[in-house]
Structures are given as structure tokens and as C-alpha cells.
Amino acid sequence: MKSCIPGFRRRDFLKVTGAAAVLAGMPFAARIGLASEGEKLKIGIIGSGHVGSALAGVWAKAGNEVMLSSRHLDNDQKLAASMGGNAQAGTPQQAAAFGPVLLFAVPYSAFPDLVKTLGSSLKGKAVINASNPFPQRDGEIASQAREKGAGLFDAQLLSGAHVVRAFNAVGAARMASAHEDPGKIGMPIAGDDKKALAIASRLVREAGFEPVVVGGLDMGKYLMPGTPLAGEHTPGEVRSIASTLKP
């Protein structure tokens, strides 16, 4: 069977999911080496603020290839140069075409224009959306996302992509430092596609967090500030909180 995510072959998926089954019974310190043995990914990053630049840095350090992009190419080029040979910079369109995995870390109000600009380039890709809808900042689109539920609205907005919500509930300041003391903080993630969840889980671990799948995209409404899952919790606490929540 052929993977529906371009560039992420079936054997890659089996490596990740097979490792995930073993990882569940291992101490976190032992997981780092095993989780990093798979083929490295090419990740387009759209939005190079605190979250995007921090994750780009840790993923590049882990051996993945990343492309930073935003409205400020000069700044992205400087950031990429500081991250070494695994990082480069480009336009959002170039980042979307760069590899099979994308991270969005932009204000939610930016999505309508971005989606028009990127067109069909998102189709079939694993898209990790770290963006949160704040009506006071982002206006009507954020109100719509909150009314429908952020995860379900993401899927509607990013049609054709395999969306996972992650890196939404933990503060941006932790993104660059969690790998220094890995596995202590649980990262709730939500998605409907198993392959995309496997990819996101691997990247969450490489960033130093412990991924906790809390459910499908209908649970994505809890992955933002102001919800019970917001803030820093141990993996066990995330599981316990999530068990009390309903889609």
C-alpha cells in the first residue's frame, strides 16, 4: 500500500509506528535514540516567530531539513544561517513545496490569504497547525474557528491536507528548551490521519515533549490557551485531563 503523504513512504510509516509501539513501554531517555533512527524529514515552516523559529532550530539539530518562511525573507535567511546546514529560507510557497511535512505557526488571521496563495500545494501533506484563533486579534475567522472547533475548522480551511493540531497548548517559551530536559512535559495532539499523527508524534519527541494523542480533530478545540489542557502538564496529567473532555 502506498502512503497518501508525498515523500513519506510506507516503510517510513512502519518504522515510525513500529517504533511507537515499542516506545510506549520504554523510559523516555531510551526513546530518543530509537525515535531518531528513521529517515530524516523535510519540513516547510510557515511562520518564523517564536514558535516556528524555535521548532525549526531543534528539528534541524535533530538532523531534519527545514525551510523557514514568512513575510520577512531577509530575517528568515539570517535565522537559517544561524541553524547550520540543515536549515534554509524561502517564500511560503517554496516552503509549502519543500517537503511532505508543513508547520503553520502564524496568526490565524493570515490563513485566508495564505490558503489562496498556496493553492493545491497542501494536498496530501501532513500539516501541523500550531496556530490558535484569538477573536480579539484575528477577527471573524477566529470566531468561526472557535464556534466550529479549531481542529474541524483547520481541516475545512486547509482542505486536502492531513491536519494535526500540536504545539498549541504549551507556551512558546518552552519550544526551544524542552529538549534540554526531555519527556517531562506532555504535548497534547489531535488528528484524524494515523500517518500524520505518527509524523507529528515523532517531531514532538524530537522537540523534547512527550506526545499524547487526545483524540481526533473534534478534540482540537481543547488545544489552545484557556482550556483545561492549556499550560505545562506531565504526560500522565494530560491523559487524565483529556479523559474528562468530550468532543
Could you read off the pLDDT of 164-199 as tens digits, one per residue?
Answer: 999 999 988 889 899 989 999 999 999 999 999 999
Q: What is the mean predicted confidence (pLDDT) over 109-119?
A: 93
User: Quick one: 85 exposed, middle or buried, by C-beta within 10 A (0-12, 13-18, 19+)?
Assistant: exposed
Q: Do the domain assignments include residue 233?
A: yes
DSSP line for 79-90: HHHHT-TTEEE-
Q: Do the domain assignments include residue 125?
A: yes
pLDDT at 114 exceeding the cut of 90: yes
Q: Do the domain assignments include residue 3?
A: no
Q: What is the mean predicted confidence (pLDDT) over 208-220?
A: 97
Percent of the chain whose predicted confidence (pLDDT) is above 70: 85
Q: From CA 121, how far away is CA 159, in angstroms rounded?
A: 11
Q: Which amino acid is at 163?
A: V
**For residue 63, what is the domain's CATH number?**
3.40.50.720
Q: Do the domain assignments include residue 2?
A: no
Q: From CA 133, how far away is CA 108, in angstroms rounded?
A: 5
Percent of the chain whose predicted confidence (pLDDT) is above 90: 80
What residue has cell string 484557556?
Answer: 226
Q: What is the pTM of this model?
A: 0.84
Range scoring the smallest mean pLDDT among 2-16, 127-141, 232-246:
2-16
- What is the distance of C-alpha 57 from the center of its chain? 14
**How would residue 4 be classed by pLDDT, with cut points 50, 70 and 90?**
low
Q: Do the domain assignments include residue 181?
A: yes
3-class secondary structure, 69: strand
Q: From CA 149, how far away is CA 212, in angstroms rounded?
A: 19
Q: What is the mean predicted confidence (pLDDT) over 69-86?
A: 96
Rounded to 5 degrees, φ, ψ at 227 are: -110, 165
- Which one is predicted more confidently, 245 or 7? 245
Domain count for the chain: 1
Q: Do the domain assignments include residue 168?
A: yes
| Average pLDDT score over the chain | 87
Residue 127 lies in domain = 10-21+31-242
The CB-based long-range contact list for 225-228 (8 Å cut-off, 24+ gap) reads 225/132, 225/169, 227/169
Q: Do the domain assignments include residue 222?
A: yes
3-class secondary structure, 233: coil
Q: Do the domain assignments include residue 4?
A: no
